[in-house]
Amino acid sequence: MKKILSLLLGACTLLATTSCLEDISEPNTDDFIITSPTSVGEVNTTIRQVKDRFCASSTGADISRNASNFAFKVNEDLIFEGVIVANDISGNLYQTVMIRNIDATTGEDQSIIIGIKNTCLYPYFRLGQRLRINVNGLYVGVYSKVPRVGQPYYSSQGNLNLGPILLDKCRTNIELIGEPDLTAPELVPEDLTDATGEAWLRASDNKVYSNVPRLATVSGLIDEVQGAKADKAERGELTGNFEPLPKIFGPDELHDAGFGVDRTILLKTNNSKVALRTSTQNNISFLPIPQDVRRYTGILTYYDNWQIQLRDVNDISAATE
């Protein structure tokens, strides 16, 4: 009798297990997509038009801390496109994607930052991927003079700034078009390494919202490792600690309030400099600083002076004459 009962229980268990296995459905792949699976609308504006409208002046802005930090809330369907030319793959750019669009007809070349609140964006926003964004319900303005799309947030100092959009906004406002194209012209940085390029950097009139951000390459020596400076360890103003030797790009000992370190690129032209800003604790920050002339590619912006942020370790290359 016990043997018969055991056989019956075993059969029931097998049937129950089989039934459960048959009830398992295929996963919904849409659950793994963080951008919109449907169209966000047809393109009806350009990056330049959006920057002209929302980044030129703080007059009438919905949030405004000063002339360098303000934003407008967008309450209509404004839809534009660009190719992703920078992301957070190295950890040096934080919650940042930059898109650029070159109009084949007019030659207009414009870029803008899209801040997205997530610490690992690059698997979803790959270089060469065309991105379409509808900024309805989002904010557009400038953060430290740099045009960007985002949402307001309070900093640890209590300042209301233009921060990143929440990740779920990607699902409603951002659409990826096609597949990444590493041959896209937008991925070719503007070469500012010759005399003409350095003259452009010296002209103060070029420090305007319509010229930033931009993907660019500059060339020069890092001032902090030239001559006797190479063996002189600097002390961090905030940390009170001395940087390690040999010098690296972003030692934690020298971080400022933004957890970044500025090095100085000396361009070939006398008295021409560009700050090389690197966040601490990432793939670039631990690289030894080369003492010879190199080419540095990244996101070029300005505050009082020009600065460049590298996207990846491969953005440092040998100088070419």
> Which CATH class name applies to 190-318?
mainly beta
The share of the chain scoring above pLDDT 70, in percent, equals 90
Number of H helices, E strands in the chain: 4, 17
pLDDT of 121-166, one tens digit each? 999 999 999 999 999 999 999 999 999 999 999 987 888 999 999 9
Displacement of CA 236 from its chain's centroid (Å): 26
pLDDT at 155: 83
Q: How many Cβ atoms are within 10 Å of 164's Cβ, its own excluded?
A: 23
pLDDT of 276-294, one tens digit each? 999 999 999 999 999 999 9
pLDDT at 30: 53
pLDDT at 314: 97
Per-residue pLDDT averaged across 184-211, rounded?
Answer: 96
Predicted confidence band of residue 12 (pLDDT cuts 50, 70, 90): very low
Predicted confidence band of residue 114 (pLDDT cuts 50, 70, 90): very high
Query: 60, 83, 79: which is closest to 70 by C-alpha?
Result: 60
**0.85 cut: is pTM over it?**
yes
pLDDT at 11: 47
* pLDDT surpassing 50 at residue 62: yes
What residues contact 312, with CB distance under 8 A and at least 6 apart? Answer: 89, 90, 92, 283, 284
| C-alpha span between 189 and 186 (Å, rounded) | 7
pLDDT at 25: 53
* Least confident stretch, 19-33, 149-163, 226-240, 256-270: 19-33
Task: Name the DSSP letter for residue 165.
Answer: B
pLDDT at 158: 85
